[in-house]
Every structure is written in structure tokens, then in C-alpha cells.
Amino acid sequence: MGLATYITGERAFSATIMLDDITVGYYNSETKIYVARGNDTNEDDVIDPNYLRSLYGLFRCHEVHQVMGLCEKSDNKLGQIISKTAYRGSTFNELCFFDGNFTYQVFSNYTQPEIKHNLEISKLRHEKLYYPACIKTLNNYLKKRETQLNRKVKPRVKLIQKANSDSGGFRVSCLATGFYPRHINLTLFRDEQLVSDHEITGGDLLPNADGTYQMRKSLEISAADKHKYTCSVTHLSLDNKLDLTLESDPSELKSVILSVLIVLALVLVFGIGAIIYKCRKRQGGRTKTEINDN
């Protein structure tokens, strides 16, 4: 997938290339150099910089701000190519080309003759230029980045119960982090019964700085809840599903919290008492000194 941006006033063009969710390189019109990212091999022959330069010239002519394009390949079968054009933050058109068929959707006030003219030009470009170039680049990157693309990193999973001061109850959270690839199945069970989606918050897939991902799902429970909660995780890096169980007994947590508060209160009382004692001792010493002086 490629995302290209052109800023008309600054005459600046940049493009970012991604293989699935891995950023493999970027191009900057100021340096006119394509820079590979995260590689440990020579990739000078993977993508043709002239292709990016030709896009730069095309954008300048048509004052396009942003273009997103992607092509697909699965099990050695070629898929579709999709491109979207945006101008001033709004989608201008969307195109799809696959197996000789071309679909075109426009979001503008163009007249029918103008749409037909642009359709013929776009179809020709996608068929003769964009699709072959995208598939060629995809095949090259699949060879160069095979190890990186197929790596599997196991998730670190935690099942946490914390007091919620706002509701007076507790929040049970299942956190899976540090995993790759991004696809993961994380579910919460109450007494071996699946917790319904409307009770759960979170569940968004978020990136980590090291290229892995994290996901958290949470559930609010009452202070009197004594059910057993289980977090089940399945991922390509795991041979079997991973289950973590939490015996929910908030009364025990309450007693722990109460004990901690009592200890803190005692420490505070003894601390204040020690300060008062020292102050009185100093005052007593001063009084004796004053008597001896007299």
C-alpha cells in the first residue's frame, strides 16, 4: 500500500510504502531519494524511484493533495487494486480495477462528459501503469521481507482487577501486548459463559513502538460480584489458546484495602505523635536553659 501527499503551496511531495502493516520505505521530493526502513538487506532493486517521480509530476499537474493505493496478492493469486484520491481533506474519487473490470465512484460536481473522460484516462493508467508497478513491487518486497513478514511474537497477557472509585465497584481487564502478527482473538468469560459484547469496553487494536500490537478489553463489575472470570487468547504464535482465570471476590480486596488504610492511618498518627514529642522536648530543653541562665 502506498500513501502519497502533495502540498500545493509548498510544492512538497512525499510517499510512504507499506507491506501489510510494515512501513518498508518512503520517498521525499526534496532529496529525490527513496529510503528503505527496517531492512537488513540491499533493496535498491525493489522499487523503481522513477515510478515515484512520475507520480510526483502527475500530482503537480492535477494539484492532488493525497492519494492512497493498494494492491493485493494471496496464495499466489493476484487481487484487486484500489486507489482513493482526496483533496483538501475530502475524498474526491475511488477506483477499483480487477481482472479487466473497472469501477469508478466520484465525489464531486463534475459533469457526465468530464467523468467519462476522466474514467477512460484513469482506467488506462491503472491497467497499464499502476497495477503492474504495484504487483511488481509487492512481489519484490515479499521476497526481501519474507522473514520479517512471517515472524511470530507471543503475546504477554495479564488479567487485572482494580477498584473503580467512580462506581464503587471493580474493573476486570484483560490485556494482551507485544504480539505479532496483528490478528488476535481475545475473549472474556464469566463462569465459563461468554461475556456479551455490550458489557465490554475497549477491544481496539493499538500499535506498540517496536512494531508489535496490544489489545485491552475491560468489564465493570459490582462490589458484590463473586463470579469467576477468564480471559482466553488465541494467536498464531500460540500452539494452543491461553487462558487466565481470576477468582473474583471483591470482599477480599476490600479487606486488603481496609488493612492498607488502617496501616497508613497508624503511621500518620505515630508520625504526628513523634513530631509533637520532639517539639515538646525541644521546648522543655529551652525552658531549662532559661532557668539556668537566670
Tell me the pLDDT tens digit for each residue of 247-289.
655 444 455 455 556 766 777 777 676 677 677 666 665 555 5
- Cα–Cα distance between 125 and 129 in angstroms, integer? 5
DSSP 154: P
Identity at 197, one-letter amino acid code: D
| Strand, helix or coil for residue 182 | coil
Of the three residues 123, 149, 175, the one that is the final residue of a domain is 149
Cα distance between residue 193 and residue 107, in whole Å: 47
Our separate counts of H helices and E strands in the chain read 5, 16
DSSP 197: G
Q: Is residue 167 part of a domain?
A: yes
Looking at the fold, whether 170 and 236 belong to one and the same domain comes out as: yes
Say if residue 74's pLDDT is above 80.
yes
pLDDT the model gives residue 252: 47
Write the DSSP string, 61-74: HHT--EEEEEEEEE
Distances from the Cα of 158 to the Cαs of 73, 194, 246, in angstroms? 36, 18, 10
Among residues 231, 221, 230, which one has the least CA distance to residue 156?
A: 231
Among 149, 176, 205, the domain-final residue is 149
Our count of domains for the chain comes to 2
Query: Which residue range forms the structural domain that includes residue 185?
Result: 156-250
Residues 211, 226, single domain; the answer is yes
Strand-pairing partners, residue 179, are 213
- Check which CATH number belongs to the domain holding 20 and give it: 3.30.500.10
pLDDT tens-digit map of 117-134: 667 777 888 888 888 888
Position with higher pLDDT, 97 vs 111: 97
Q: In the 8-state DSSP scheme, what is residue 218?
A: E
How much is the mean pLDDT over the chain? 80
User: Residue 187 — very low, low, confident or very high, per pLDDT cuts 50/70/90?
Assistant: very high
Pairwise CA distance, residues 72 & 75, whole Å? 10
Residue 30 lies in a domain: yes
Question: CA 30, CA 66: separation in Å to the nearest integer?
Answer: 17
- pTM strictly above 0.85: no
pLDDT attached to residue 286: 54
Sheet-wide strand order for 228-235: 193-194, 184-190, 228-235, 242-247
Same domain? For 39 and 73 the reply is yes
Residue 256 lies in a domain: no
Within-domain flag for 286: no
Structural domain ending residue among the three candidates 131, 149, 167? 149
Q: In this structure, are 47 and 30 located in the same domain?
A: yes
Q: Are residues 145 and 177 in the same domain?
A: no
